[in-house]
Structures are given as C-alpha cells and as structure tokens.
Amino acid sequence: MNNQLRLTILVIVVAVAGFSQGMLLPLIAVIFENSGLSSFLNGINSTALYIGILFTSPFMEPLLRKFGYKPLLVIGGLLVLISLVLFSLWQSFWYWFFLRMIIGIGDNAVNFTAQTWITEFSPEQKRGRNIALYGLSFGIGFAVGPLMVPLVNIHESLPFLISAGFSLVGWFLLFILRNELPEQDLTMSSFRDTFRRFGQAWRYAWIAFLPPFAYGFLETSLNGNFPVYALRIGIEVSHVSALLFAFSIGAIVFQLPLGIIGDQLGRERLVTIVLLVGFLCFTVAGLMEDYFYVLLVCLFTAGMFVGSMFSIGITYMTDLMPRNLLPTGNLLCGIFFSIGSLTGPSIGGLFIQFAPTTSFFYVISGLLLLLFLITFGRKIARLS
C-alpha cells in the first residue's frame, strides 16, 4: 500500500481519537460539577481512561506482533465507538467510570498501533515530520473536542452522539488498510520477554519518557480539573472552552515547526527549552488568572511549546532506541503518558479541594520546573 495513503488514514483516525478524548475530559467534568460531585471524585473518574490504558499496555506488543496492525486498530476503534454511544443512555459515576476505562483500552490500541506503524514505515529522513503530523492530527482533534461542551445545554447526550458519529467514519476508513506485521524479534518468545524488553528500553531512553509523562499530567489536569476550578472562581463555561481551545491551537500551530527545530537543534536541547517556557507560562497564568485575555495568551503560548511534548518524546525515544525495540519504546511512551494522566487529575482534584485559595496553575508549573531541573541536570552531568 502507498505510504502516503496509509499515513493519511492513520492521521484521520488519530484525529478522531483526539477529538473524543478532548471532548470527554471537560464535558464529564462539567456535567459532574453541575451535579454537585466533589472535585476529588470528579478527578478520580477521569483517571478511568488511563487505568484502561495501563491495564492493557503489557498485552499490546505481543498482540501486535501476533495479529498485526489492522486488527488492533479495528478492535480499538470499535470499543471507542460503542462506548461513546452507551454514554448517552444513562448517567452514573461507576457506569461512566467503566465506559471511560473501555475507551482507554480502545484508545490505547489505536494510538499505540498507529504511532508504532508510522515509526516503522517512515524513512529516517521523514520520521520526525511524520511523527509531528501524528501529534498534529491528535492535537487538532483534541482542540476541537472541548468546543462540544456547550452543546450539553441543548441536550446532555448530543456531544457523545456527535463524537460517536466521527468515530464511525474513522472506523470505516480502517478497512481500506492492508494488514502488516511489525518487524519480528526472535528474542521475544513469551509474555515475560515483554517486561525484559521494558528494562532494555528504559536503559536506552528513560529521559525520553519524561515529556510524555509531563504531557499526560498536563493534559488531564488541564482538561479534567481546570473546568472545575474555573467554574468555582467564576469563569464562564464558554470561557473555559475558549481557554482550552487556545492551548490546543497553540500546540497545533507549533507542532510541525517544533518537529523540524528538534531535527536541527537536537531533541535534548529542545526538551529543556519547552519545559522552561511551559513553567514560565503557567506561573504567569497563576499570577494573572483574574484577567481572561492574559490567560488566553498564556495558555496559547504554553500550548505552542509544551503542547508538543508527547510527539517530541516519541521522536526523542526513536533517536535513542534500537529499531527492534521501537514497539516497546512506543509502548513505554504510552505507559508514561498514562501514569502522568492518572496522577494529574488526582493531584489536581486534591489541590482544588484542600487549597482553594491557591491558583491551580501552580500544580502544573511546579511539575514542569521539576522535570526541567532533571533534564537540565542530566545534560550538565553528561558534559562534565
């Protein structure tokens, strides 16, 4: 199959997955907040998606190597599609928790398979560009998703059904693809070998897993906790959607340029720069949160830099990892993204509940500062 057609289909499917994720986090947070649920329980519910991702991650690589790319994409897309429809039938904390966990399983299959396939078939000179396109497509979907939140005022089920419609279109496109198997590794013969390979991949590229972790923390806390915090300090729902959209648009605008800059500047240097700029942006946002347009500029600027951390991490990992360990490295990027996504809303929810007078943005800026110090410290240690 023509690589360009395959890349186009995968990019569309990933954009649809980003749309559903970008919609679900703020939408369910707003629905639960209006129902009187505590910020901590609200944050806990949003972790369900990432519990699903983590629970299935050890099984993904063996399944991919056995069945190939297309079956995992088709099954993952179907799980997401069915779950989105089921959201519209009934509202319950545990029912929605279960559905979000199923969507996490489906999204994990789609994103892990798509990013691994792209790194597999992309020539080295186009790998950074193609991974940037992958991140860009997810970012576009994720940016549009929160715009569905105001539709809850028309009917609570409407955003879920619209997302299900887009998912159905993406699912049908998958049947155009021809199945392929990843490059086989004769050293991998059992489930235990997956964990052995985790150790090998960690030794090669542990530093590259920090940006996906940071992005997971940032994405879920910003989209899951911030709407709750914003409503409590008097920011309107429409303004919340606009602020989240500004962050996502910033990521979209700079996704491809950052990929190109990383090829020229070096991924290690780029990671330290984006972490530092992200820290500064969220610190200013915390100081100026009473001014909507200042917040808009801060979140847009932050999106331009830290909004690309997941794709930067994947490309950085690809630079450091032997080719036969690429599926494992992609899987670990997803796992660290999920760990960040699990801790983000839990810590953010507790922070909102027990420190209501302190700006929520300081949670994110504090994490970015810590990871900047780790990354910069490693670079200094290597040079000395």
Whole-angstrom CA distances from 262 to 13, 298, 301 are 25, 23, 18
Give CA–CA dist 284/218, Å, rounded. 16
Give CA–CA dist 163/77, Å, rounded. 12
Residues 366/143, Cβ–Cβ less than 8 Å:
no
Q: Would you state the pLDDT for residue 41?
A: 82
Q: Which DSSP string do the residues of 193-213 spell out, in sequence order? A: HHHHHHHHHHHHHGGGGHHHH
Structure tokens, 145: 């998703």
Residues 42/33, Cβ–Cβ less than 8 Å:
yes
φ/ψ (deg, to 5) at 131: -70, -35
Residues 40/348, Cβ–Cβ less than 8 Å:
no
Q: Residue 147: name the closest of 47, 49, 249 by CA.
A: 249
Give CA–CA dist 99/23, Å, rounded. 14
Sorted by where each starts, the structural domains of the chain and their CATH numbers stand as 3-178+194-383 (1.20.1250.20)
Q: Would you state the pLDDT for residue 37?
A: 81
Give CA–CA dist 310/345, Å, rounded. 18
Rg of the Cα atoms in the chain: 20
- Supply the DSSP symbol for 223: I
Give CA–CA dist 381/384, Å, rounded. 5
Residues 299/250, Cβ–Cβ less than 8 Å:
yes
CA 252 to chain centre: 13
Print pLDDT tens along the chain (384 aa). 677 889 899 999 999 998 998 888 788 888 887 888 877 788 788 778 878 888 888 888 888 888 899 999 999 999 999 999 999 888 888 999 999 999 999 998 998 899 888 878 877 667 767 877 887 888 788 778 878 888 888 888 899 999 999 999 999 999 999 998 876 654 554 556 667 888 888 888 889 999 999 998 998 888 778 888 888 888 887 788 788 888 888 888 887 788 778 777 888 889 999 999 999 999 999 998 888 899 999 999 999 999 888 888 888 888 888 877 887 888 888 889 888 988 888 788 888 888 888 888 999 999 999 999 999 888 887 776
- Outline where 206-308 has alpha helix (H): 210-220, 226-232, 237-265, 267-287, 292-306
Q: Residue 308: name the closest of 283, 285, 275, 286 by CA.
A: 275
Give CA–CA dist 313/129, Å, rounded. 14
Q: Would you state the pLDDT for residue 119?
A: 79
What single-letter amino acid sits at 3? N
Give CA–CA dist 118/311, Å, rounded. 12
- Supply the DSSP symbol for 179: P
CA 32 to chain centre: 22
Give CA–CA dist 318/198, Å, rounded. 15
Structure tokens, 100: 């979000």
Element (H, E) at 143: helix 124-144
What single-letter amino acid sits at 191? F
Give CA–CA dist 110/132, Å, rounded. 17
Q: Residue 207: name the closest of 319, 368, 317, 335 by CA.
A: 317
